[in-house]
């Protein structure tokens, strides 16, 4: 499977090896996008890098055209792996201390992807206490390293500091990507998650809603993204941020949520965790309904679209795995099993939201996973752990598919 490599080329005579590394990565079928530092451009040209990557080379943090087309935040997160070769003492120091004065260092600070560095510098620079402190800090931060090797330097000195050979770096990249795949069992799959409540307007200031915080749905979206899935999170109004690595689509009503969910198809996985209002006012008032000394006219209600059933029975683009949620206050498992059959989905995650459980709006959950093959009763745990366990079950399902 094609992987996306973001290659940061630092300054130094070893920068020429970045060209051979790019060629090796392209032969492996990977897509390579390059950032060329100002110092790096003294040794290799943007044209040579662009010719080998088949893509634009990025250089300037404040290039308005680049920022409108591919901002440094998106650039830092659009790759599967960030590789710094050569990683100069300057780049290592900036990364270790969180500095962000140019495109390369800003990208390293902004990325949420694994980073692999191939150091290259004079032997005395490599052995300097400051460089060794920075190396230790970067390793503690989770940065991977390949090299440096030992040998004769361009300056005539001998010792550690030579940048690893391109093939050795490519092999280290293969290993890093392999570990990444093992940690991301849903890589290559797409997921749709609905979360939060919907607000169904009565008039411009009042609405019908459910008591959902979105915490469970958002946690599931984040766990799916961490497992490698491309996630679209369709969320009703909530007071929590979207997790990293997901595409957020904000909606208000059930009809808007259904439309957004259908636009997100096709998807391999759909998790309908939103607490969608079952009913809406047939005709919401254009102006605020005023008190007039007597009760207002009864509200005429109509049923909202059934998002879970619609996705489960979609004629052309049904997700391979559709998971619904059932929030009940009694007969939790019995009602959930009936819902599984009624909606046509594959799994139901059921929980007891009776007053006093603290589940609605709280940080913990106690769920029952209902499938055609049986029932799993999970102990009470934080909603983040529920999300991780559910995603593990999803990964196991696809691994056996």
Task: List residues with catalytic annotation.
Answer: 155
**Cα–Cα dist 110/35, whole Å:** 14
CA geometry: angle 249, 252, 257, nearest 5 deg: 60
Q: What is the DSSP letter of 78?
A: S
Burial of 74 (0-12, 13-18, 19+ CB in 10 A): exposed
Q: Phi and psi for 295 in degrees, rounded to 5?
A: -65, 145
Cis omega (within 30 of 0) on the bond before 148?
Answer: yes
Number of H helices, E strands in the chain: 14, 22
**Which H/E stretch holds residue 105?**
helix 103-110
In angstroms, rounded to a whole number, what is the distance separating the alpha carbons of residues 6 and 34?
Answer: 6
Residue with tokens 């003492």: 89
Q: What DSSP element (H or E) covers 193? A: strand 190-195
Tokens of 196: 């939060």
**Terminal CA-to-CA distance of the chain, rounded, Å?**
18
Listed in order, strand segments (DSSP E) in 52-135 are 57-58, 81-87, 115-119
Cβ–Cβ < 8 Å for 128, 51: no
**CA distance linking residue 55 with residue 32, whole number of Å:** 8
Q: Kindly give, in sequence order, each residue whose CB lies less than 8 Å from that of residue 211, ignoring residues fewer than 6 positions away.
A: 197, 275, 360, 361
- Identify which of 327, 325, 328, 319 has the alpha carbon closest to the alpha carbon of residue 343: 325
What kind and span of H or E run contains 158?
strand 158-162
The phi and psi torsions of 200 (rounded to 5 degrees) equal: -105, 110
């Amino acid at each position: 499977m094609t992987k996306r490599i973001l290659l940061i080329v630092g300054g130094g005579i070893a920068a020429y090896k970045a060209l051979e590394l790019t060629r090796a990565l392209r032969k492996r079928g990977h897509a390579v996008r390059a950032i060329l530092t100002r110092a790096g451009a003294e040794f290799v040209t943007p044209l040579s890098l662009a010719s080998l990557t088949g893509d634009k080379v990025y250089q300037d943090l404040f290039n308005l055209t680049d920022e409108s087309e591919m901002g440094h935040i998106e650039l830092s997160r659009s790759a599967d792996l960030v590789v710094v070769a050569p990683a100069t003492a300057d780049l290592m120091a900036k990364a270790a201390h969180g500095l962000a004065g140019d495109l390369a260092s800003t990208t390293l600070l902004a990325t949420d992807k694994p980073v692999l560095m191939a150091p290259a510098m004079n032997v005395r620079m490599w052995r300097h206490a400051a460089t060794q402190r920075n190396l230790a800090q970067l390793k503690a931060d989770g940065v991977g390293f390949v090299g440096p090797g030992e040998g004769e330097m361009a300056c005539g000195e001998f010792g550690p500091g030579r940048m690893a050979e391109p093939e050795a770096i490519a092999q280290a990249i293969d290993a890093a990507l392999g570990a990444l795949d093992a940690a991301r069992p849903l890589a290559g799959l797409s997921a749709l998650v609905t979360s939060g409540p919907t607000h169904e307007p009565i008039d411009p200031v009042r609405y019908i809603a459910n008591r959902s915080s979105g915490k469970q749905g958002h946690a599931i979206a984040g766990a799916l993204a961490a497992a490698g899935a491309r996630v679209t999170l369709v969320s009703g109004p909530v007071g929590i941020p979207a997790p990293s690595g997901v595409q957020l689509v904000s909606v208000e009503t059930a009809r808007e949520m259904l439309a957004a969910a259908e636009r997100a198809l096709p998807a391999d996985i759909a998790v309908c965790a939103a607490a969608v209002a079952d009913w809406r006012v047939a005709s919401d008032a254009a102006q605020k309904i005023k008190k007039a000394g007597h009760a207002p006219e009864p509200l005429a209600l109509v049923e909202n679209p059934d998002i879970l059933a619609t996705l489960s029975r979609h004629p052309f683009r049904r997700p391979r795995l559709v998971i619904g949620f059932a929030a009940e206050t009694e007969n939790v498992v019995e009602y959930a099993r009936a819902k599984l059959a009624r909606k046509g989905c594959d799994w139901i995650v059921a929980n007891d939201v009776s007053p006093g459980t603290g589940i609605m709006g709280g940080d913990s959950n106690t769920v029952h996973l209902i499938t055609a093959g049986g029932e799993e009763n999970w102990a009470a745990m934080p909603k983040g752990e529920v999300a991780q366990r559910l995603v593990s079950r999803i990964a196991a399902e696809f691994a056996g598919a």
